[in-house]
């Protein structure tokens, strides 16, 4: 009778140990999924910005100087590294918002000089983003 009681206690201790061990082994996988999901969202945002610039290039057709500047900007943004860093995500939001503003300006008047100043602001955001990733 005592042997059976000891066996039941040992089985219960082993079962509880296995439960907590499995729980701890799953935890890093769940955190990795969350981390990769953040990077994936950032990657999609970068891709959306590139598509936005491509549509601006179509709108700016006929203004070679603006088209060339937009192509350069598109290449800079296309090769940005996705990140889970919240500061980088915030900078990417600023870039996306400024690109929307540029698109509006291009649709109004593709010859406006304000467009080039806005593009310089986006380039400044890109430099800030790269600096933030290096920090």
108 compared with 2, residue with greater pLDDT: 108
CB-count burial class (<10 Å; 0-12, 13-18, 19+) for 105: middle
Give the model confidence (pLDDT) of 77-125 as tens digits. 999 999 888 899 999 999 999 999 999 999 998 888 899 999 999 999 9
Give the model confidence (pLDDT) of 4-54 as tens digits. 777 888 888 888 888 877 877 776 666 556 656 678 888 999 999 999 999
Chain-wide mean pLDDT for the chain? 87
Prediction pTM value: 0.72
Dist. CA 21–CA 24, nearest whole Å: 5
Q: How does DSSP classify residue 80?
A: P
Dist. CA 113–CA 105, nearest whole Å: 10
């Amino acid at each position: 009778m005592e042997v059976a009681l000891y066996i039941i206690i040992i089985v219960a201790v082993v079962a509880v140990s296995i439960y907590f061990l499995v729980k701890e082994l799953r935890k890093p996988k769940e955190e990795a999924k969350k981390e990769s999901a953040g990077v994936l969202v950032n990657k999609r945002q970068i891709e959306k910005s590139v598509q936005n610039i491509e549509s601006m290039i179509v709108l700016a057709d006929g203004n070679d100087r603006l088209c060339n500047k937009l192509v350069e900007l598109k290449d800079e943004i296309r090769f940005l590294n996705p990140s889970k860093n919240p500061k980088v995500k915030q900078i990417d939001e600023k870039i996306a918002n400024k690109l929307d503003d540029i698109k509006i300006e291009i649709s109004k008047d593709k010859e406006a000089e304000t467009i080039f100043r806005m593009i310089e602001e986006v380039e400044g955001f890109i430099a800030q983003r790269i600096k933030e990733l290096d920090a």
